[in-house]
């Protein structure tokens, strides 16, 4: 999620991990619709998905007997609004340059997705496809 050339990252209350906004599909949703909904639920930002940028798959434990398989489809998304308000599962949010976000993100798969998103963001900005991209940093 890009907000004026910077990246929105979230810190979970439960484990202090820094993550990208993400979520799950609800019945009848497309991946794009889920991305819009989840970003809004987690950040209260209205956002436009621009293009798919990658997928991740991982497992996590709810407790000793419940392991969850999760697949996430990510999109390069641009915020249409500016005021961030996180949902209760998060203790903090940051809006930071991509290089700082890369350093702070907890999981390698989030770092990889952000690198792909940043590459695509810069490419689209260079082509003039991203409005007001004059603040874009060209490297990590």
For the stretch 49-101, pLDDT in tens is 999 999 988 777 778 888 888 888 999 999 999 999 999 999 999 999 999 99
Using left for φ > 0, alpha for ψ between -120 and 50, and beta otherwise, residue 5 falls in left
Confidence label for 133 from pLDDT (cuts 50, 70 and 90):
low
Which stretches within the chain are classed as H helix?
31-43, 98-104, 108-126
High-pLDDT (> 70) share of the chain, %: 93
User: Is-contact 59 20, C-beta < 8 A?
Assistant: no
Domains of the chain: 2-126 (3.90.79.10)
Q: What is the pTM of this model?
A: 0.86
């Amino acid at each position: 999620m890009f907000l004026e050339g910077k990246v929105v990252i979230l810190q979970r209350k439960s484990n202090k991990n820094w993550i990208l906004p993400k979520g799950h599909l609800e019945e009848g949703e497309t991946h794009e619709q889920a991305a819009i909904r989840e970003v809004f639920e987690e950040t209260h930002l209205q956002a436009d998905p621009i293009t798919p940028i990658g997928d991740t798959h991982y497992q996590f434990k709810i407790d000793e007997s419940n392991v969850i398989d999760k697949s996430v489809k990510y999109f390069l998304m641009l915020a249409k609004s500016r005021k961030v308000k996180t949902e209760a599962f998060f203790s903090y949010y940051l809006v930071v340059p991509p290089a700082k976000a890369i350093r702070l993100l907890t999981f390698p798969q989030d770092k990889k997705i952000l690198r792909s998103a940043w590459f695509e963001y810069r490419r689209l900005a260079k082509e003039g496809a991203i409005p007001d991209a004059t603040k874009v940093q060209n490297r990590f």
